[in-house]
Structure 1
Amino acid sequence: MKIYVQKYGGTSVGTPQRIKNVAERIIKKSGNGVGMVVVVSAMGDTTDKLLELAYEITPNPPDREIDMLLATGEQISISLLAMAIGALGHPVISLTGGQVGIITDDVHKKARILRVNSKRILEELNKGKIVIVAGFQGITENNEITTLGRGGSDTTAVALAAALNADLCEIYTDVDGVYTADPRIVPEAMKLDIISYDEMLEMASLGAKVLHPRSVELAKQYNVNLEVKSSFNENKGTIIKGETGMEGILRVSGITHDKNIAKVAILGVPDKPGIAYKVFSDLADNNINVDMIIQSIRHEKVNDISFTVGKDELDKTVSIMRKTVEEIGAKGIEYDKNVAKVSVVGAGINKSEVAKAMFQALADEEINIQMISTSEIKISCLIDLQMTERAVKAIHNKFILNGIEIRHQDAI
């Protein structure tokens, strides 16, 4: 039996009619030796509404109770979708993350999947049922409900596809696939037919909203056949796979931006061994992810350390760092929420020619660069928040519309 895993986001199941449409799509693909496993997110903005309720009750809701609350959103979706499929005459069952054996660690609000027990799903598939699974959630060894963080349903779908050795994992969203930039900012953005795991991982981690980074990591690790498609039409989507191009050609695949970012600076840091370790271990111990990092020398024996974190973790970060500043004898702390990160992504992107073209595009628009970070396949710049759209358009015009292609000097 072939096994297909599909994932439908909140917009795709945002209304009763859309749920019925999804049910018809699922049934159309099932049968003829195909077992269907469908992962569903909470309807529309249900998760945000549940969070609003929590913060109306208390300004500091416990993480455990947040998970208990948010997990109900996906349970609504799976039960309604199962009803819709059942009403069309097809055997179906809805299951929570815990019921299908998605075992996670005990970090509430952003748990990581430890393993998946596929026994229950395979039993239901062998009975001829379509299996509807709640995304975004799991359960610990101690039977505590956990959630996987924003975009966790993508991770659920890929994890199930890997555990089931599925033939295909389709991620259905409200867009046709992965674009060279956000079409809402750049109307000329083009859909990519194919993109590599590494490029998609960078784009996802740098602000592209189509897929969650952790889902791409899993897909790459287990070589999951992945495709991003629209749930509102039958258009071909974007295939995410291994390496996609010839060696020697440097081509930018996409331009991303991230407004959910903040800059933190620790000022007057003593220049001695162990200080950086202390700063970033305090952050790591509190599960705060750090992105761009710069250490600059103010004068002899004193440095400044700047880094970026998610805007939603800024308050927690500042609180932790104030204590760290006292312990290491630094002068103080500053932070800025009015920043954004723009990035170019593509194979071999850390070449000077690519950096030159990106920096020129920003300079032509008189956009100042505050921080820079690079990897083998991306260059990121921290800029003023108000300049985000202008920067994305300028960089997209430079690389995509003008078709800049840079070759290694020793290209074959």
Structure 2
Amino acid sequence: MSLIVQKFGGSSLANMQRVFNVARIVTQTYNQGHSVVVVVSAQGDTTDELLSKAYEINEEPSKREMDVLLSSGEQISMALLAMAIEKLGYHVVSLTGRQAGILTNSRYGSARIKSIETERLFKELDAKNIVIVAGFQGWNKYDDITTLGRGGSDTTAVALAASLHADVCEIYTDVDGVFTADPRIVGNPSKLRDISYDEMLELASLGANVLHNRSVEMAKKYGVKLVVRSSLNDSEGTVVKEVGSVEKMYVRGVARDNDIARIAVIGIEDKPGMAFKLFSLLARERISIDVILQSIGRDDTNDISFTVKKADLQKSLGVIRENLGMLNAKEVKYSENYSKVSVVGAGMVNNPGVASMMFEALYDADINIHMITTSEMKISVLVDVEKAERAVNAIHDKFKLGEINS
């Protein structure tokens, strides 16, 4: 008998019909002789609705109280799913993050899992119960509820799979698996039968929304087998594993990320240590930097451009403006009208010409490139946001990614 962890996202639980659909998937797995632990997200738009309620009352609520509020969404889901499974005639128990033993640090709103006390979980499994755990949440040393931030339910599922030594962790979504591009913007994407942890991590970090990068990092670290599949049909999903089908495809996918703001610090004095001063200021504020470009200015100065998440834009601008004098810089400029478009593939390193093909595709589509960054597994470019979808389609067609299963 194997142990399977199944995670269901908010769209899979959006209404009563879908809750019962998930209940049937779970009980079918149980009937096959498996022990089952289920992790659930909040239903549909529940989290957004809770956020709206919070900000109606207080424009700047404390992060602790926001965690108490937002954790309720997953608790609603777990209780409703447990009721549906009960109605189908099965023994089931629902557990909050605290009851499931998920201990985190005390960074409210973006906590990290420190350990999982598995005694209660194994006790319920030994009693032949289906176990449902509220995703996205845990508890800290002060006995407070904490939430894990974006992608928290994926992270909960993988962490439980690792701690329980599960045979597989199945991530159920409203799509059939991992595709070569977002099916919402590309008409002919191909579903990948498998993909490596590293490739999936790159795609997740670059804007693909199927899995969150934190969960992929954890799966790779602990060797958790992941399968991404649809809760709406019985089709085979995509297996995420140590090594994907590198030899068959050197480019595995195209991703787009519109959550990009570009900042340019103009006229920084051209001498050693100035880039360190700039980026250490931002690091102190826990602002993550992505693409960086330094260009030669005039009169022994440089211009440094870089990208941040839009949520970090105003904080970044405030820090830089306060320190323009220390940086000996003339001014700071910014724009939110960019998108990052990337190609990913572990086989790229051994296949010269990928960059040339990507840039040719953009040239043929009359799309200008503003910034470029590369690694052995990815090439990313900054383009105008209104041309991003066209860029993704042009690159996808250039590499014939829609034909890989034909």
On whether the aligned pair clears a TM of 0.5, the verdict is yes
Does 2:278 correspond to 1:303? no
Work out the CA distance in 2 between the residues paired with 1:48 and 1:256: 25
Deviations 1:129-187 (A, max 9, x none): 11111111122222232222222111111111011110010000000001111111111
Work out the CA distance in 2 between the residues paired with 1:188 and 1:40: 30
**Paired residues of 2:190 and 2:403 also in contact (CA < 8 A):** no
Partner of 2:328: 329
Work out the CA distance in 2 between the residues paired with 1:261 and 1:121: 41
Shift of 1:326: 4.1
**Paired residues of 2:225 and 2:240 also in contact (CA < 8 A):** yes
Work out the CA distance in 2 between the residues paired with 1:271 and 1:330: 10
Partner of 2:250: 251
- Report SS of the residue matched to 2:306: strand
| CA distance 1:202–1:100, change in 2 (3 Å) | same
- Report SS of the residue matched to 1:30: helix
- Report SS of the residue matched to 2:302: strand
Work out the CA distance in 2 between the residues paired with 1:318 and 1:169: 41
Listed as ranges, the matches of 1:308-387 within 5 Å are: 308-349=307-348, 352-387=352-387
Aligned length: 403
**Paired residues of 1:139 and 1:145 also in contact (CA < 8 A):** yes
- Report SS of the residue matched to 1:99: coil
Partner of 1:409: none
Work out the CA distance in 2 between the residues paired with 1:345 and 1:315: 30
- Report SS of the residue matched to 1:228: strand
**Paired residues of 2:180 and 2:401 also in contact (CA < 8 A):** no
* AA aligned opposite 1:239: V
RMSD: 1.8
Does 2:152 correspond to 1:155? no
* AA aligned opposite 1:133: V
Work out the CA distance in 2 between the residues paired with 1:402 and 1:90: 43
Partner of 1:80: 80
Partner of 1:285: 284
Shift of 1:344: 0.5
Shift of 1:226: 0.5
Deviations 1:193-248 (A, max 9, x none): 1111111111111010100011111111111111000000110000111112356x
**Paired residues of 2:36 and 2:131 also in contact (CA < 8 A):** yes
Deviations 1:100-154 (A, max 9, x none): 1222222222222222222221111111111111111122222232222222111
Work out the CA distance in 1 between the residues paired with 2:274 and 2:145: 37
- Report SS of the residue matched to 1:179: coil
**What percentage of residue pairs aligned between the two structures are identical?**
55
Name whichever of 35-44 and 309-318 sits farther off. Answer: 309-318
**Paired residues of 1:294 and 1:307 also in contact (CA < 8 A):** yes
Partner of 1:53: 53
Partner of 2:241: 241
* AA aligned opposite 1:212: H
Work out the CA distance in 1 between the residues paired with 2:294 and 2:53: 41
Work out the CA distance in 2 between the residues paired with 1:41 and 1:402: 31
State the TM-score, normalized to the length of structure 2: 0.94
Partner of 1:125: 125
Work out the CA distance in 2 between the residues paired with 1:307 and 1:391: 21
Shift of 1:250: 5.9
Partner of 1:390: 390
Name whichever of 394-403 and 33-42 sits farther off. Answer: 394-403
Partner of 1:34: 34
Work out the CA distance in 2 between the residues paired with 1:385 and 1:124: 50
Partner of 1:271: 270
Deviations 1:269-311 (A, max 9, x none): 2233333223223323322222111122213532222111112
Listed as ranges, the matches of 1:187-206 within 5 Å are: 187-206=187-206
* AA aligned opposite 2:217: E
| CA distance 1:136–1:325, change in 2 (3 Å) | farther
| CA distance 1:66–1:268, change in 2 (3 Å) | farther
Work out the CA distance in 2 between the residues paired with 1:56 and 1:72: 18
Partner of 1:9: 9
Work out the CA distance in 2 between the residues paired with 1:312 and 1:361: 31
Work out the CA distance in 2 between the residues paired with 1:282 and 1:156: 33
Shift of 1:322: 2.3
- Report SS of the residue matched to 2:179: coil
| CA distance 1:28–1:245, change in 2 (3 Å) | closer
Listed as ranges, the matches of 1:83-232 within 5 Å are: 83-232=83-232
* AA aligned opposite 2:131: V
Deviations 1:351-394 (A, max 9, x none): 65000000011111111111111111110001100001110110
Listed as ranges, the matches of 1:19-30 within 5 Å are: 19-30=19-30
Partner of 2:400: 400
Work out the CA distance in 2 between the residues paired with 1:32 and 1:391: 45
* AA aligned opposite 1:144: D
Deviations 1:41-95 (A, max 9, x none): 0000111111122222233232222222211111111111111112222111111
**Paired residues of 1:180 and 1:400 also in contact (CA < 8 A):** no
Work out the CA distance in 1 between the residues paired with 2:276 and 2:392: 34
Shift of 1:31: 4.3
Work out the CA distance in 1 between the residues paired with 2:38 and 2:322: 46
* AA aligned opposite 2:94: S
Work out the CA distance in 2 between the residues paired with 1:63 and 1:121: 29
Work out the CA distance in 1 between the residues paired with 2:232 and 2:203: 23
* AA aligned opposite 2:267: G
* AA aligned opposite 1:131: V
Work out the CA distance in 1 between the residues paired with 2:60 and 2:331: 26
| CA distance 1:299–1:105, change in 2 (3 Å) | farther
**Paired residues of 1:349 and 1:375 also in contact (CA < 8 A):** no
State the TM-score, normalized to the length of structure 1: 0.93
**Paired residues of 2:111 and 2:148 also in contact (CA < 8 A):** yes
